């Protein structure tokens, strides 16, 4: 069945719970699976942008996981990728239009990265590795779990970068105005630095010291 389940399949309820929680730390899409870094790096210059990106991503992730899981039995194997892409890009376009209409300023600051969720490897990866092989409930849980993990990490990166790079968090001045911002944090190298440190922290404290 799924490559995700290690060892003997546990009872259904326990398993659903695990699909939900695994995305947070154990199989965090950014820190462990290390997919979707493009959006993560580019859209985490401020906490607000990061959270917006996380929410847009979550909508696409959860909806496409559910729909792909629903159609997995009627989709012939040869055309599964075109079907996945169509489903994902439909949800991306929906979220893009909705953001343009209702949160135009956020939509503008995220720019091209909202349409680029289409090629976000987390969405595609979960569709291929999970939703196309598991039931709707499990896929829903997987989508929610991955989304929560993604939102948590991208927002954390956004908060750290905005705090050190600009002295603010969610646009609110936190550090004293005399603070000289480390501009590197809001520049692309800062994203790599922060993500690297977060991965180190995650490995050290939540994964038994870097077993792989």
Separation of alpha carbons 67 and 85, rounded Å? 12
CB of 181 vs another protein, minimal distance in Å:
7
**Residue 135 and residue 12 in contact, taking contact as beta carbons nearer than 8 Å:** no
Which is nearer to another protein, 86 or 173 (by Cβ)?
Answer: 86
Nearer to another protein, 43 or 146 (CB): 43
Residue 162: CB minimum distance to another protein, A: 9
The 8-class DSSP code of residue 102 comes to H
Give the helix ranges, DSSP H, for 72-135: 80-102, 104-110, 121-126
- Contacting residue, 28, 40, 46, 202, with another protein by CB under 8 A: 46
Sign of CA dihedral 149, 211, 42, 190: positive
- Asked if 115 interacts with another protein (CB under 8 A), we say no
> With binding defined as CB under 8 A, does residue 189 bind another protein?
no
CB burial readout 11-30, b (16+ within 10 A) else e: eeeebbebbbbbbbbebbbb
Residue 101 contacts another protein per CB under 8 A: yes
Asked if 170 touches another protein (CB under 8 A), the answer is no
Site of interaction with another protein (CB under 8 A): 45-46, 71, 74-76, 78-79, 82-83, 86-87, 89-90, 93-94, 97-98, 100-102, 104, 111, 165-166, 181, 183, 185-187
């Amino acid at each position: 069945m799924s490559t995700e389940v290690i060892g003997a399949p546990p009872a259904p309820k326990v398993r659903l719970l695990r699909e939900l929680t695994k995305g947070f730390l154990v199989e965090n899409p950014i820190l462990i699976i290390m997919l979707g870094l493009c959006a993560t790096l580019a859209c985490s210059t401020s906490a607000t942008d990061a959270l917006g990106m996380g929410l847009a991503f979550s909508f696409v992730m959860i909806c496409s996981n559910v729909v792909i899981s629903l159609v997995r039995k009627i989709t012939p194997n040869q055309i599964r990728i075109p079907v996945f892409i169509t489903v994902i890009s439909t949800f991306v376009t929906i979220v893009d239009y909705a953001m343009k209409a209702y949160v135009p300023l956020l939509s503008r600051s995220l720019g091209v990265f909202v349409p680029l969720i289409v090629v976000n490897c987390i969405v595609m990866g979960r569709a291929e590795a999970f939703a196309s092989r598991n039931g709707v409930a499990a896929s829903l849980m997987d989508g929610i779990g991955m989304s929560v993990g993604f939102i948590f990490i991208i927002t954390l990166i956004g908060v750290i970068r905005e705090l050190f790079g600009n002295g603010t968090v969610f646009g609110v001045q936190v550090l004293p105005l005399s603070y000289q911002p480390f501009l590197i944090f809001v520049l692309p190298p800062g994203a790599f630095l922060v993500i690297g440190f977060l991965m180190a922290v995650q490995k050290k404290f939540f994964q038994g010291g870097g077993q792989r």
